[in-house]
Chains A and B, each alone.
Chain A
């Protein structure tokens, strides 16, 4: 079975602090991709970061990094130096072989000034 789990429905972080958003996944496919998307209140889905299952190093994109622990099947997103504009919904997603994307239920992040 393919499944993505985000256990934090809501998170708060102080501006300029770092925050970790949790994501665990389940798949029997040996090859898969893991993604994080940001969805502001406007509704668009903004691609943040990607990690391939065979990638040796954790992915980083600016202030975003993905803490990939394959044995634990986790792909947590770390946002460093939080900004007010980071307040949004964050979705973890997985794409095993094939076209289907599996999305988690999302985490609502609020950055406090």
Chain B
């Protein structure tokens, strides 16, 4: 397993501002992902964070809105830019240890409220 921490755990932000969420893992991992969970909904994959290169975004998500960095094998950031109330969600970081591993572990999540 992996121990994953996220900062901040929660935040309340104003419309039009940006928030950067950090994800730190206690060991080197192969794959890092960012998910969004809107209120009362299931999880939706935003993007795969690639070390040293641009993230791979899923349909409906773009780099300008959700820029992602992954400078090394244990750390990644997700920025939610120019926020609107529709961005109010839980944002979760998740990791796998090996590319062929099916096991995926999640961080504690960041609960974001946009007013």
Q: A95, B104: Cβ atoms under 8 Å?
A: yes
| 8 Å CB contact of A43 from B45, B102, B105, B108 | B108
Residues on the A chain within 8 Å of B41, using CB = 105
| Interface residue count on the A side (C-beta < 8 Å) | 21
Q: B111, A43: Cβ atoms under 8 Å?
A: yes
B11 to chain A, nearest CB (A): 13
Residue of B whose beta carbon sits closest to that of A51: B102
Cβ contacts B86-106/A at 8 Å (1 or 0 each): 000010101000000011111
B96 to chain A, nearest CB (A): 8
| Interface residue count on the B side (C-beta < 8 Å) | 23
Residues on the B chain within 8 Å of A35, using CB = 102, 104
Cα distance A33–B103 in the bound complex, in angstroms: 8
Q: A45, B109: Cβ atoms under 8 Å?
A: yes
Q: Which residues of A contact B (CB under 8 A)?
A: 33, 35, 37, 42-47, 50, 52, 91, 93, 95, 99-101, 103-106
The 9 tightest CB contacts between A and B, nearest first, are A33-B102, A45-B106, A43-B109, A44-B108, A103-B42, A103-B43, A105-B42, A43-B90, A99-B48
Q: A45-B43, A50-B102 are in contact. List 17 more A-B contacts (CB 8 A).
A: A35-B104, A37-B106, A42-B108, A44-B106, A45-B94, A46-B106, A47-B105, A47-B106, A50-B103, A91-B43, A93-B43, A95-B104, A99-B48, A100-B45, A100-B58, A101-B45, A103-B43
